[in-house]
Chain A
Amino acid sequence: EVQLVESGGGLVKPGGSLRLSCAASGFPFSDAWMSWVRQAPGKGLEWVARIKSKIDDGTTDYAAPVKARFTISRDDSKNTLYLQMNSLKNEDTAVYYCTATKYCSGGFCNAHNWGQGTLVTVSS
């Protein structure tokens, strides 16, 4: 069974930093393209960042609102995805979801799995 478990959320002051983690299991993590997606209270889904698998060159991409403030990374030896968030703003308040795509399991190569999310609140 695929599992994505986010952790590291909490309350932080504007200008502060936070590091989110996502522990993955049940699928070939090193093959997967991993993303962070956030959802502000009462709002829609917003893509934040993506990191490709190392075999697909491991490049990272960011949404404009977080570029230069957030850093996505992965540790394939630990099956874990990270999001380092710096210079946090009130508008970064959201539930942050970890997602996994682009891997094959049981002959199916179009899965798109989500964790349950972790809440980040930026407030003074």
Chain B
Amino acid sequence: SYELTQPSSVSVSPGQTARITCSGDVLTKKYARWFQQKPGRAPVLVIYKDNERPSGIPERFSGSSSGTTVTLTISGAQVEDEADYYCYSATDNSVVFGGGTKLTVL
């Protein structure tokens, strides 16, 4: 089975750029998605197909991919972006989430 590895925490000041990485062999074969989860809430899709943004997601959220690593970038992070972020990928017979990264913006 595949694994996705994320840092457990990232911290930035408001207005700075936050970068969260996700690494795994499956990412050379399949696209990644990123989810944002705030306390007590269900996750929300913020990036799909490595770097596409669903409608309604602010432009400061972007994604990129290189080899076995994908990166979620939040340009000019705001206090309301403080949340847990999970990467995700899926194959024909399994699904995998990264362990999650707690983003602190203060």
A interface residues with partner B (beta carbon < 8 Å): 35, 37, 44-47, 50, 59, 61, 63-64, 97, 108, 110-112, 114-117
Q: How far is the CB of A105 from chain B (nearest CB, A)?
A: 12
- Distance A46 CA – B48 CA, assembled complex (angstroms): 19
- Distance A63 CA – B94 CA, assembled complex (angstroms): 7
Take A44-B86, A45-B86, A61-B94 as given contacts and tell me if A112 and B99 are in contact as well, using a CB distance cutoff of 8 Å.
no
Residues of B within 8 A of A35 (CB): 95
Contact of B42 among A110, A111, A114 (CB under 8 A): A114
Could you tell me if A111 and B95 are in contact, using CB atoms closer than 8 angstroms? no
Contact of A115 among B42, B90, B96, B98 (CB under 8 A): B42
Q: How far is the CB of A60 from chain B (nearest CB, A)?
A: 10
Most buried by B among A37, A44, A110, A114: A44
Contact of B97 among A45, A50, A64, A115 (CB under 8 A): A45
Could you tell me if B1 and A110 are in contact, using CB atoms closer than 8 angstroms? no
